[in-house]
A and B are shown apart, each in its own frame.
Chain A
Amino acid sequence: MKDHAMKTKIWCGSILAVLALLGAGCDTVGARHQQTSSLFSYLYADQTGHTDEPSVPVLSLPLRVGVAFVPMKSKDRGSSWSRETLIFSEQQKLELARRVAGEFVHHEFIKSVDLIPSAYLAEGGSFRNLDQLRQIYGIDVVVLLSYDQVQFTDQGALTLSYWTIVGAYVVQGEKNDTQTMIDAAVYDIASRKLLFRSPGLSEIKGSATPVNLSEQLRRDSAAGFEVAATNLVANLTVQLEEFKGRVKNAPTEYRIEFKPGYTGAGNFGGAEIVFIGMLAGGVLLGRWHRKS
């Protein structure tokens, strides 16, 4: 009887140990790890399925621009995975925001670019929150940066679906792949219109083994954000040039106003340059004639 009780205890203990091991494995092998801050949730938290319709924004030039990261959802902020292994740190966000600001600041129609701390953006704050930022920083246009990264550590969940401001974005992955998207949406706050957007994507193929899975996923996550940020900035350069072209060439799509205070300049026109050329030629010819 005593032996039977002992055997039962050993069996139960063994089963519990196996279950505990399996349970522990689910945290690192069987899950889909995701870091996300959704622009859609920030702007249209209570309007499921919303997409922006094209309309005519009024641009008061030169523009004052703000760059901000859309806040993470509180449930993601609170999760143990996000808290302990968050790869996309505030420092990295600030670095990316600086790179994005650098793309804007060189254009003649931009007056200034301000980096807005994440703390100023409330979850689900929508345009009410942006109006407050407009008051605080005096900005006309805001660049809203959002991101989504997923690591497919489970064979069963290999699709990332991210609802961007212009529709759903779906990527297929393979086990241990890291898919990252960083999105920059540029809004005119007063007219609440999307001026343009620029995505940055990256796909890091999974090379992790169960032995080094956690460490490799962490490295892939950091690399994913880095590559996506680089792609975003490259895309942004193209999008900004296209936007400039659209504003210049399609006055019906954007209404332009100028703020008080103008830029003074002046140069020599074609006629003056021809005159200067003829004068310089005449002087050289006279000198050559005198010599000969």
Chain B
Amino acid sequence: MNRRIPIVTLLLIAVALVIAAWPDARLALIYDRDAILAGEIWRLFTGHLVHLSIRHLAFDLIGFGVAGCMIEARRMPSFGWLCGVVPCLSSGLMLWLNPTMSQYAGLSGLALAAWVYLGLSSLSAQSSRWLGGLVLLAVTVKLAGEICFGLGIVSGHSLEDIRVATTSHIAGAVSAGLFHLTLRPRLLREVALLA
């Protein structure tokens, strides 16, 4: 059987690990509202690769890594584009909707986008609809838990005012949905007709 190496997933994981091992990079790459507004726009993307602790890094990498490997193993199209577009879109929304959030860090927004993309793509495929349904149900439960109860906060940071960045997660999920629709023009037309 022809196995495919999950290049995009491994590349992003490697970059996140390098940043975690290089503390100076964190300062230069983290999503920092003031710095972005001052022109450091690369932080819109790179902020998603910065993590605040080993636990934060480990859980985000597991969350993103499993979804990314499953997507690339199933040869779902344009995953690289998704990984490029979603962080920027998500950061743009946070910049607009969360003026009091001075910093953001973590791959969780992109990880949720990957899970939504996996779920929607699996639902479209005939063979693995159960997987798609299960994944989308789990994502819905997670987002509902965050919105209603503030679940998903990074623990162990009593010296920093850290709050769960629900905007990033919702933005990731919504943009993955839109991305999935743009890849399927027929489905997009049907949705437009329904609307």
Contacts and interface: CB of A to CB of B under 8 A. Distances in A.
Given A261-B101, A272-B142, A273-B63, A266 B159 contact: no
Interface string A144-161: 000000000000000000
A263 B152 contact: no
Nearest to A106: B23
Given A266-B108, A267-B56, A108 B27 contact: no
A288 interface: no
Interface in B1-45: 23, 26-27, 31, 33
Given A263-B105, A266-B152, A268-B60, A109 B111 contact: no
Contacts of A280: 66, 70
Q: What is the interface of chain B mostly: helix, strand, loop, or mixed?
A: helix
B152 A269 contact: yes
Interface in B36-71: 52, 55-56, 59-60, 62-63, 66-67, 70
B165 A264 contact: yes
Which one of A106, A256, A261 has the greatest number of beta carbons of chain B within 10 Å? A261
A61 B162 CA distance: 11
A268 B160 contact: no
B160 A108 contact: yes
Given A272-B63, A279-B134, A264 B157 contact: no
A133 interface: no
Q: How many of chain B's residues touch chain A, expressed as a range? A: 35 or more
Given A248-B159, A280-B66, A264 B168 contact: yes
Given A106-B26, A109-B159, A264-B94, 14 more contacts: A108-B157, A263-B101, A263-B104, A264-B103, A265-B154, A266-B153, A267-B55, A268-B59, A268-B62, A268-B152, A269-B59, A269-B151, A273-B59, A276-B67
Interface of B: 23, 26-27, 31, 33, 52, 55-56, 59-60, 62-63, 66-67, 70, 94, 98, 100-106, 108-109, 111, 131, 134-135, 138, 142, 146, 151-154, 157-169
Interface of A: 61-62, 105-109, 244, 247-248, 256, 258-269, 272-273, 275-276, 279-280, 283
